[in-house]
């Protein structure tokens, strides 16, 4: 394989190997610092980052506020304190080598104050910001004010063009790179547009070539593209090296760094990664963000699939719509459904799914009473972890009275609770386990034979060989 040439990323010559951010507590100061120390770009996740007490134990993020607004303020402060701590740890471990980036989701609750707070609290220690999950128009301005490079995460040339023309062109000197995140292959939340078919993956090469053409039109030939999603063996991407159609390119790894000694995820999660097969990662739309996302198809996702299948259109009164003239009783409640749906509803009730919950789309889902109680509790406990949430109907916009204007959707789930649980030793089956679609390679890649878990340095050396 061709040799990996260093690139100028966020103001320094480094290996073109970037650690992906990976959301809540799946990337931290230890992993990012080790990645930077090995000569690449380490990324601290500043999405509800962990902080530690004087004994080095994780400080639980417990919320005391009686209202969502009060809990939202606590969430922001937890995020700032944890982010600053993790960046400082990464800086110490890196020892002046590589680059340290932070990752935030633009649609996370309090993204702007968390980002500002971390940059202020870890002043001079952050070299770059990666940010996606939405259209982060203010990212460039914030980065420039702090003299930090910004790396927007996009999934199409069109998205970057909109961001550049509306917001980024005035801060071009601080554009450190553009992350192209493949919406069909990357783990976590993906940027599929309404015009794209989630079941018809597109080759990333022409999409990246289109991005490069657009960037060149804006005079950004010197800015690297960071390819993210589906990258495993670099030998498979060798035709991208020194390719004028692609231009300067680096490769971002999200899934492979999960299985390293420095990775903060629990050992059980690491063991599970070693046993995944092709097709075990599901591209789904159950996330309360409304985005598509990719995660291991465990019990949580299977339950969400089944919950949505136990769904029926309804009306509360007869005569409102002549198609809905068949009465059906679910517990103590009566609804009017289409005649053809009555048998299904009665069958679900007979199987124990005897509690109805209304969705914002004039449908009912049928669940067990314990499931309904858990859904209601999770919705009540909402702390505004997203800028707007389908599951709880929270919006951080005071102009809408902190509401999305739609009812809470019981077909989704509390993503904050789930990601916090799995990151800190909770059930691998009942919580969201993000992973990219190339994760099945853990089971067949000889590098991981007999359950071998490398250090970050060993992994990066392996990647550089093409394997």
Chain segment 355-400, per-residue pLDDT in tens = 999 999 999 999 999 999 999 999 999 999 999 999 999 999 999 9
CB 121, CB 84: distance < 8 Å: yes
For the segment 14-40, the average pLDDT, to the nearest whole number, is: 93
Q: How many Cβ atoms sit within 10 Å of the Cβ of residue 306?
A: 12
pLDDT of 149 > 90? The answer is yes
Residue 320 has a pLDDT of 78
CA 225 and chain centroid, separation:
20
Closest by CA to 205, choosing from 239, 234, 177, 251, is 239
For the segment 96-120, the average pLDDT, to the nearest whole number, is 94
Share of the chain above pLDDT 90, in %: 86
Q: Which run of H or of E encompasses 188?
A: strand 188-190
Residue 423: CA atoms inside 13 Å, Cβ hemisphere, count?
24
Whether residue 189 has pLDDT greater than 90: no
| In a shared domain, residues 417 and 458 | no
pLDDT at residue 17, as a whole number: 97
In a 3-state reduction of DSSP, which class is residue 396?
coil
Q: Strand, helix or coil at 130?
A: strand
Is residue 437 one of the residues assigned to a domain?
A: no
Pick from 415, 425, 416: nearest CA to 271: 425
In this structure, are 321 and 252 located in the same domain?
Answer: no
Predicted pLDDT of residue 393: 94
Same domain, 36 and 147: yes
Task: State how far the Cα of 272 lies from the Cα of 298, in Å rounded to an integer.
Answer: 11
Is pLDDT at 220 greater than 90 in this prediction?
yes
What is the pLDDT confidence band of residue 290, given thresholds at 50, 70 and 90? confident
- Give domain status of residue 387, yes or no: yes
Q: What is the pLDDT of residue 4?
A: 87
Report the C-alpha gap between 345 and 328 in whole angstroms: 8
Give CA–CA dist 406/395, Å, rounded.
Answer: 10
pLDDT computed for residue 190 by the predictor: 84
Report how far residue 208's alpha carbon sits from residue 155's, in angstroms, rounded to the nearest whole number: 9
CB 438 within 8 A of CB 231: yes
Establish if 115 belongs to a structural domain: yes
Tell me which of 2-16, 192-206, 418-432 is least confident.
Answer: 192-206
**Do 319 and 399 fall into the same domain?**
yes
Q: State the Cα–Cα distance between residues 145 and 122, nearest whole angstrom.
A: 14
| 344 neighbors 312 (Cβ within 8 angstroms) | yes
The domain total for the chain is 2
Question: What is the average pLDDT across 102-127?
Answer: 94
Residue 368 within any structural domain of the chain: yes
275 is a domain residue: no
CA 93, 96, 99, 101 torsion-angle sign: positive
Of all residues in the chain, what percent carry a pLDDT higher than 70?
Answer: 100
Please say whether the beta carbons of 163 and 134 come within 8 A.
no
Residues 416 and 458 in one domain: no
pTM over 0.75: yes
Region 35-48: mean pLDDT is 96
pLDDT at 196: 84
Q: 9 - beta bridge partners?
A: 12
Whether residue 162 is found in the same domain as residue 57: yes
Cα-based torsion angle of the residue sequence 110, 116, 120, 122 in order, rounded to the nearest 10 degrees: 70
- Nearest residue to 35 (alpha-carbon basis) of 73, 56, 9: 9
Across the range 21-33, mean pLDDT stands at 89
The answer, yes or no, to whether residue 414 has pLDDT greater than 80, is yes
Q: Helix (H, G, I), strand (E, B), or coil: what is residue 133? A: coil
Q: Is residue 179 part of a domain?
A: yes
Q: Report yes or no on 236 lying in a domain.
A: yes
Q: Kindly report the number of other CB atoms within 10 A of residue 97's CB atom.
A: 17
Query: Cα–Cα distance between 11 and 219 in angstroms, integer?
Result: 18
Q: Using 50, 70 and 90 to split pLDDT, how confident is the model at 194? A: confident
| Same domain, yes or no: 405 and 309 | yes
403 forms bridges with which residues in the sheet? 394
CATH code, 448:
3.20.20.70
Q: What is the pLDDT of residue 367?
A: 97
Quote the radius of gyration of the chain (alpha carbons, Å): 23
* Same structural domain, 224 and 337: no
DSSP 8-state symbol, 437: T
Nearest Cα to Cα of residue 65 among 279, 363, 419, 383: 383
In which domain, by residue range, is 315 found?
299-423
**Are residues 244 and 309 located together in one domain of the fold?**
no
Q: Does the pLDDT value for residue 171 go beyond 80? A: yes
Computed over every residue of the chain, the mean pLDDT equals 94
Residue 99 has pLDDT above 80, yes or no: yes
Torsion of CA 226, 229, 233, 238, to 10 degrees: -40
Which residue shows structure tokens 């289409």? Answer: 338
Checking if the pLDDT of 135 tops 80, the result is: no
Instruction: Return the half-sphere exposure (C-beta side, CA atoms, 13 A cut-off) of residue 8.
Output: 8
Specify whether 323 is located in the same domain as 224: no
Same domain, 194 and 59: yes
Q: Which of 30-34, 63-67, 135-139, 429-433 has the lowest mean pLDDT?
A: 135-139
272 inside domain:
no
Residues 50 and 194 in one domain: yes
């Amino acid at each position: 394989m061709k040799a990996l040439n260093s690139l100028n990323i966020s103001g320094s010559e480094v290996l073109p190997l970037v650690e992906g951010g990976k959301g809540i507590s799946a990337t931290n100061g230890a992993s990012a610092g080790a990645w930077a120390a090995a000569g690449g770009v380490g990324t601290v996740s500043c999405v509800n980052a962990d902080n530690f007490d004087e004994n080095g134990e994780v400080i639980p993020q417990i919320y005391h506020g009686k209202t969502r607004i009060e809990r939202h303020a606590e969430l922001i402060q937890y995020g700032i304190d944890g982010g600053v701590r993790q960046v400082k740890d990464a800086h110490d471990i890196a020892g002046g080598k590589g680059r340290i980036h932070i990752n935030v989701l633009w649609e996370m609750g309090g993204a702007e104050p968390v980002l500002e707070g971390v940059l202020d609290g870890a002043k001079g220690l952050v070299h770059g910001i990666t940010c996606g999950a939405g259209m982060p128009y203010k990212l460039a301005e914030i980065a420039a004010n702090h003299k930090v490079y910004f790396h927007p995460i996009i999934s199409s040339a069109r998205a970057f063009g909109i961001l550049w023309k509306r917001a980024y062109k005035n801060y071009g000197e601080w554009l450190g790179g553009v992350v192209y995140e493949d919406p069909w292959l990357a783990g976590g939340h993906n940027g599929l547009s309404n015009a794209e078919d989630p079941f018809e993956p597109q080759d990333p090469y022409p999409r990246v070539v289109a991005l490069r053409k657009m960037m060149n039109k804006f005079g950004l030939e010197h800015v690297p593209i960071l390819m993210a999603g589906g990258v495993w063996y670099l030998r498979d991407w060798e035709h991208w090296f020194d390719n004028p159609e692609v231009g300067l390119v680096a490769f971002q790894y999200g899934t492979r760094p999960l299985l390293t000694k420095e990775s903060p995820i629990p050992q059980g999660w690491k063991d599970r990664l070693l046993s995944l097969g092709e097709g075990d990662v599901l591209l789904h739309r159950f996330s309360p963000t409304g985005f598509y996302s990719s995660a291991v198809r465990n019990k949580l996702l299977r339950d969400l699939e089944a919950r949505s299948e136990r769904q029926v259109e309804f009306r509360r009164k007869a005569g409102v719509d002549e198609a809905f003239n068949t009465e059906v009783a679910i517990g103590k409640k009566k609804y009017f459904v289409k005649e053809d749906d009555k048998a299904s509803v009665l069958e679900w009730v007979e199987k124990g799914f005897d509690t109805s919950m209304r969705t914002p789309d004039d449908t009912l889902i049928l669940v067990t009473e314990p499931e309904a109680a858990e859904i209601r509790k999770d919705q009540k406990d909402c702390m505004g972890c997203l800028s707007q949430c389908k599951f709880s109907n929270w919006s951080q916009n005071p102009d809408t009275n902190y509401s999305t204007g739609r009812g809470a959707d019981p077909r989704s789930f509390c993503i904050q609770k789930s990601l916090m649980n799995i990151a800190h030793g909770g059930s691998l089956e009942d919580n969201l386990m993000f992973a990219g679609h190339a994760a099945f390679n853990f089971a067949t890649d000889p590098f991981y034979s007999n359950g071998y878990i490398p250090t970050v340095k060993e992994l990066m050396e392996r990647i550089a060989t093409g394997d």
